[in-house]
Amino acid sequence: MINSHQFQQAAKQFRAGRISLKEFTDLVIHAQPARKPNEAAVSTKVSETEVSSPVSQAEVSPSMILPRAVDAHKGDFGRVLAIGGSSEMAGAIGLTSMAALRSGAGLVRAMVPREIQAVVAGWSPCLMTVGVDSEKGQIGDGSELDIALHCQWSDAIAIGPGMGRSVELDHWVSKIYRDAEEPMVVDADALNALAEANAGLESHAGLRVLTPHPGEFRKLAGSSSTDRQELENQAKKMAADASLVIVLKGSRTYVTNGDLEYRNVSGNPGMATAGSGDVLTGVIAALLGQGMSALDAAVTGVFLHGNAGDVATESIGQASVIATDILNSLSVAFKKQVKATEKTIGF
């Protein structure tokens, strides 16, 4: 353990954004040196008997959520840009945006087609919106939009929920995926866009987390397999080859960066409902914006999202759970994680 002075210095580094949440907790609990910015920060445990083994098995676990400093302000907790929505699916990007806010993001800006801007803004007065030109109810090709400026404003990007499909969008999404330097969560129609455009998943300027369900993953991988273990094997290889994190959703959601892997232990069948994945996208984006590594954010986000689903199910039963119930239960899931952190750290 570190002394009081070292703790205060580490806290200042964290609030200033110079170290991530996981790096801070490692410093506090294990007195480990801070990692390099792009180095994975997920907790790992390797037994002594495994050290000499040709293949070491690492135990990946969700990160702790620290109590907030008394002098914290919204700039300390990241800015999330959520891109998506269409006239037929305005709710999806609303769920993502609100989940990011409920997961601690200091500021959230939703970029949506202009005709649904008022609908999305109506989710909460705490949510900022940007209405952009559209075609057939979907975001247009972005020719008149300075997307780079909006991306640079953000600390993390969530793209895809409710976006819809078009050839123009396929190429637009592929360009953002390739060029944006900010950490990005790619979900739903943005995943389909990358698959349709044959985008090189390895070509990206920043951290990337892909959150496909099995059908979306098969499109990305060009696979016809329906065997879960085979899909997980393919996901691990894809993550390694493209230097990204994949969240393969489903029962015991599988998360991997191509090296480490995690199978989620929270959640229940009641979460198999429209919009549940949109909430998860917002949670992971918020954690990325708060400085977690891509693998940390994915693992912790999946765990907390599942916990929120468990809280909702305890209240109303599996059959009646809808995505807004999961969204509204995030506060309880985060509160539990903070209490667990306080118990571990001892303050």
Q: Could you tell me if 32 and 97 lie in one domain?
A: no
Within a domain: residue 343? no
Find the mean pLDDT for residues 124-149: 88
Within a domain: residue 66? no
Model pLDDT, residue 52:
34
Q: Could you tell me if 93 and 223 lie in one domain?
A: yes
Structural domain total, the chain: 2
d(CA 149, CA 151): 5
Tens-digit pLDDT profile for residues 299-313: 999 999 999 999 999
pLDDT interval class at 332 (50, 70, 90): very high
Find the mean pLDDT for residues 224-240: 97
Q: Could you tell me if 154 and 297 lie in one domain?
A: yes
Average confidence score pLDDT of the chain: 87
DSSP symbols for 81-134: EEE--BTT-HHHHHHHHHHHHHTT-SEEEEEEEGGGHHHHHTT-TT-EEEEE-E
Model pLDDT, residue 57:
46
How far, in Å, are 40, 248, 310, 326 from residue 333 at the CA level? 24, 21, 9, 10
- Can you state the percent helix, strand and coil of the chain, rounding each to 5? 50, 15, 40
Model pLDDT, residue 146:
86
Q: Could you tell me if 259 and 175 lie in one domain?
A: yes
Indicate whether 10 pLDDT > 50: yes
Within a domain: residue 112? yes
Model pLDDT, residue 145:
76
Model pLDDT, residue 344:
83
Q: Which domain, by its residues, includes 151?
A: 74-335
Model pLDDT, residue 342:
86
Find the mean pLDDT for residues 170-189: 96
Give this prediction's pTM.
0.86
CATH assignment of the domain containing 239: 3.40.1190.20
Q: Could you tell me if 279 and 234 lie in one domain?
A: yes
Supply the DSSP symbol for 138: E
Indicate whether 15 pLDDT > 90: no
CA nearest 171: which of 150, 192, 148, 194?
194
